[in-house]
Chain A
Amino acid sequence: MGFVEIRDLTFAYDRRQPPVIEGFSLSLEKGEILGILGPSGSGKSTLLRVIAGLEVPAAGTIVIAGKRVVDGGTFVPPEKRGVGMVFQDYALFPHLTVEQNVGFGLHRLPRKERRERVGRVLELVRMTGFERRYPHELSGGQQQRVALARALAPNPDVLLMDEPFSNLDADLRVSIRDELAAILRQAGVTCLFVTHDREDVEAVCDRYIVMEADATSSD
């Protein structure tokens, strides 16, 4: 049994519509970086939202690090799943500084340890020295690295990344991609990485799967 195990997952936004995801299964080793490739509308972002606990599947089971988070009678809410996520638009809290953003998920740590941990992840993403800045004072690439640091800080069992490069322009994309690959390996994190760009997958991931746009799906 894999570190992340998904069995027969089915999800529909509306009961009257055909499911976006149907009978999907997946197994992921610890420390593996898996790419999920597919055109828009193939349900790959939805898959991440279901794994994160932001959506409830109609059927199927998900096990993360030996803990059953979803099955017919179980639903572990997102805050108790140990899942980290980097959103497409980063979703950095605009009213908090970089330091407060990264420390946001570390509320259970005592102040001193929290400080240390924030310093360490900011160093990992090479953003030391930006602690006091607000998100709107950062460039797109910098925001992305802060978002990554924030997701990594609480040491999640699995990291989900939803099209992390789509908001960056082409030049930046290439350099950041290599950097990201290095950071993820250094952190040794298990990661699911969604993109529609084959080059992203080749640069970052150990292996990848392809989700086809379902003929029955609406968009």
Chain B
Amino acid sequence: MELARFVRQIRRELDGWRLASLGWAAVLLLPFLFIFSAWFRKPNEQWLQIRAYLLKDYVTGTVQLTVLTGLLAAFLGVSLAWLVAAHDFPLRRFFRWALLLPLAIPPYIAAYTYSNMLSYTGVVQKTLRDLGVEVSPKWLAFGSVRGALFSFVLFLYPYVYLIARAFMERQCASWVESARLLGARPLAVFWRVALPMARPAVAGGVALVVYEVLGDYGVTSYFGIRTLTTGIFQTWFGMYDVESAMRLASWLMVAVVGLFVLERWLRRGRLYHVSGRPRPMAPVRLRGGAAAAAFAFCFVVFALGFLIPVVQLIAWASLAFEDVWKPAFWRWTLNTVAVATLAAFAVTAISLVVANVCRRRTALNQLLARWVTAGYAMPGAVIAIGILAVFIELDGVLAPLYAAMGWGDRPLVLSTSVAMLVLGYVIRFTATGYNPVEAGYENIGTRFSESARLLGHGRTRTFFRVEMPLLRGSVAVGFLLTFVEICKELPLALLLRPFNFETLATQTYRYAKDEQIILAAFPSLLVIAVSLLSVAVLHMAERRA
């Protein structure tokens, strides 16, 4: 009887949908298992050298950058969020969304833009010289940690700003107003009510910033900072030593998992919800000097984070339009669009299947959903090294097959194909597509699906005839966001692209790295234009919610 019941359970639970989800989850496990397998091998000579001379630099560089960026981005994001959410000042409605725009500029593009603007031949020093003003070059030095911090904080803070502002605007109103009625002074309202309540939201935003910094290669390598990620690149491109790269990746992964746990812990049981319908907060009108200061603060951040770099890039691009506009440019664009479309399509399909299975909120399903989307926290370099290791191993296993096909002895087929890059993108960006799809499923509820089942349609037919048409909007949002993220992505593309396969991002990076800044401007603008799309989508999604 018990056995019969068990068999009944299995037959009901294990349909194609669940099998597909579990299968994908297993595939995801492979690269990470491979990375940790490095721990059980005998360390080679290079690793001993890295450990002796470089590891300490890598770790301190990583820790320094993430901690400082995290703190500064939290400060900037939260103060702007509080200013916009709870106050009224000139152009507030404009700044409310304009302060999101820096997110459209990838930090590596910002880094080389600013560092060239501030160089001896750049627009700033030139203007100063023309004006006859002498400023010590020390003040204008835009390098190393200072430049990296500037590029990260000013172009990543919108993650914190967006989440904190949305939370403050929607959830805090009644508490903030009570505090005001009880006579608390404005600063006290912020420190004692709004900030503690928004802490889970802020932690979520800061975590996103920190994951970006941990995964960054463009900014840190441009400024020559040693971090675990740049270390992975150096061991792979400098010494072609996958094993040591895997060891470094495993340490980076341990750091990320630690952060992930820390973030969960900071958010534990602290999700405040207003009973009843949340309502917007009535903003306090600022006057005189306070209003001017608020305006100035927002304007400076907006100018530095969007206006100035974009104007500068347009100016550069107009100088070199003829040189960039050549057939190769079309090929890079086509490469980018093709790879991004393919990967975004796969992400959407995976999201639809897994989110469908996970509508029943059992513990196992929650774990499955977490696991499938965990890639967003993983640095691109870690994912890339994991995939490289797996594909090189696979090529070894398949060598007899290749030989039988007459492709020669031990050729590298899989590990030189574009499949690696697509898989990397899919692992990294599943969360970007998954979250809107999951929200879409939640939105339509289970009633329609249950009706369809009772009218004689199986799970798959129900999906195509009922769920899919109702999910159209969410699917489109998920697809678009994923597409944009992939267009911007750099570290995965650099590590996993086949030989001579350039995307807009890698080509931009190459130009910038070779100090061909003027040539880099046009593709940069293209990347920014595509990214603006996702900022617009985020803004609209928030308005509808």
Contact of B454 among A74, A78, A89, A93 (CB under 8 A): A78
Bound-state Cα–Cα, A89 to B448, Å: 10
| B470 close to chain A: CB less than 8 A | yes
Contact of A74 among B8, B450, B452 (CB under 8 A): B8
B467 to chain A, nearest CB (A): 10
Contact of A54 among B1, B450, B455, B465 (CB under 8 A): B450
Q: Is the CB of B457 within 8 A of A79?
A: yes
Residue of A nearest to B2 (CB): A72
Q: Is the CB of A154 within 8 A of B451?
A: no
A160 to chain B, nearest CB (A): 9
| B453 close to chain A: CB less than 8 A | yes
Q: Mark A114-156, 1 if CB is under 8 A from B, else 0.
A: 0000000000000000000000000000000000001100100
A145 to chain B, nearest CB (A): 16
Residue of A nearest to B5 (CB): A72
Contact of B450 among A56, A91, A104, A105 (CB under 8 A): A91
Q: Mark A54-88, 1 if CB is under 8 A from B, else 0.
A: 10100000000000000011110111110111010
Most A C-beta atoms less than 10 A away, residue of B456, B461, B469, B470:
B456
Q: Is the CB of A105 within 8 A of B5?
A: no
Q: Is the CB of B5 within 8 A of A84?
A: no
B266 to chain A, nearest CB (A): 29
Bound-state Cα–Cα, A94 to B454, Å: 17
A106 to chain B, nearest CB (A): 9
Residues of B within 8 A of A94 (CB): 470
Residue of A nearest to B13 (CB): A56
Bound-state Cα–Cα, A46 to B453, Å: 17
| B182 close to chain A: CB less than 8 A | no
Please report whether the interface of chain B is mostly helix, strand, loop or mixed according to DSSP: helix
Q: How many residues of B contact A (CB 8 A)?
A: 24
Q: Is the CB of A150 within 8 A of B4?
A: no
Most A C-beta atoms less than 10 A away, residue of B9, B454, B457:
B454
Q: Mark B441-475, 1 if CB is under 8 A from A, else 0.
A: 00000011011111111100100011001100000
* A-facing residues in B1-16 (Cβ within 8 Å): 1, 4-5, 7-9, 11-12
Q: Is the CB of B470 within 8 A of A95?
A: yes
Contact of A72 among B1, B448, B458, B465 (CB under 8 A): B1
Residues of A within 8 A of B457 (CB): 79, 104-105, 107
Residues of B within 8 A of A54 (CB): 450, 453-454
Q: Contacts A77-B453, A108-B456: A91 and B447 contacting too (C-beta < 8 A)?
A: yes
Residues of B within 8 A of A205 (CB): none
Bound-state Cα–Cα, A79 to B462, Å: 10
Residues of A within 8 A of B465 (CB): 104
| A52 close to chain B: CB less than 8 A | yes
B365 to chain A, nearest CB (A): 15
Q: Is the CB of B447 within 8 A of A83?
A: no
Q: Is the CB of B451 within 8 A of A91?
A: yes
Q: Contacts A73-B7, A95-B470: A89 and B447 contacting too (C-beta < 8 A)?
A: yes
Q: Is the CB of A93 within 8 A of B12?
A: no
Q: Contacts A77-B453, A83-B454, A154-B455: A93 and B448 contacting too (C-beta < 8 A)?
A: yes
Residues of B within 8 A of A53 (CB): 453-454
A152 to chain B, nearest CB (A): 11
Bound-state Cα–Cα, A53 to B8, Å: 13
Residue of B nearest to A103 (CB): B455
Residues of A within 8 A of B447 (CB): 87, 89, 91
A104 to chain B, nearest CB (A): 5
Q: Contacts A89-B447, A91-B447: A73 and B4 contacting too (C-beta < 8 A)?
A: yes
Given contacts A53-B453, A53-B454, A79-B454, 10 further A-B contacts (CB under 8 A): A52-B450, A52-B454, A75-B8, A83-B454, A87-B450, A93-B466, A94-B470, A105-B455, A105-B457, A151-B455
| 28 contacts across the A-B interface (CB closer than 8 A) | A52-B454, A53-B453, A56-B9, A56-B12, A72-B1, A73-B1, A73-B8, A74-B8, A75-B8, A75-B11, A77-B453, A78-B453, A78-B454, A79-B454, A79-B455, A79-B456, A84-B454, A91-B447, A91-B450, A93-B451, A93-B466, A94-B470, A104-B452, A104-B465, A105-B455, A107-B457, A108-B456, A154-B455
Seen from chain B, the residues whose Cβ lies within 8 Å of a Cβ on chain A are: 1, 4-5, 7-9, 11-12, 447-448, 450-458, 461, 465-466, 469-470
Seen from chain A, the residues whose Cβ lies within 8 Å of a Cβ on chain B are: 52-54, 56, 72-75, 77-81, 83-85, 87, 89, 91, 93-95, 104-105, 107-108, 150-151, 154
User: 3 shortest A-B CB distances, which residue pairs?
Assistant: A73-B4, A105-B455, A91-B447
